[in-house]
Amino acid sequence: MSKAEKTRQFIIEKTATLFNTKGYFSTSLSDITEATGLTKGSIYGNFENKNEVAIEVYKYNSGVLRKNLSRSFSDEFPTMTDKLYAFVSFYRKNWKFVFQSGGCPLMNAATESDDTFPELKNQVKRSFEVWIKTISDIITTGQESGEFRIEINPDDYASLFIILLEGGILLSKTTGNEKHLKLALDKILELTDKEIKENPS
Q: What is the DSSP string of 78-110?
A: -SHHHHHHHHHHHHHHHHHHHHHTTS-HHHHHH
Give the predicted TM-score (pTM) of the model: 0.88
Question: Does position 196 have pLDDT exceeding 70, yes or no?
Answer: yes
Please tell me the distance from the alpha carbon of residue 77 to that of residue 89, in angstroms, as a whole number.
12
Quote the CA–CA distance of 55 and 107 in Å, as a whole number.
14
- The secondary structure of residue 73, as a DSSP letter, is G
Domains of the chain (ranges, CATH numbers): 57-196 (1.10.357.10)
> What mean pLDDT value characterizes the chain?
91
DSSP structural state of residue 25: T
State the pLDDT confidence band at 201, using cuts at 50, 70 and 90. Answer: low
How far is 162 from 131, CA to CA, in rounded Å?
Answer: 8
| Region 69-81 average pLDDT | 88
pLDDT category, 200, cuts 50, 70, 90? confident
CB-based contact 142:196 (threshold 8 Å): yes
Distance CA(73)–CA(57), nearest Å, equals 25
Is it the case that residue 31 has pLDDT exceeding 80?
A: yes
Whether 193 contacts 200, CB under 8 Å: yes
pLDDT band at residue 71 under the 50/70/90 scheme: confident
pLDDT digits (tens, 9 = 90+) for 93-113: 887 777 777 778 888 888 877
Determine the pLDDT at residue 25. 85
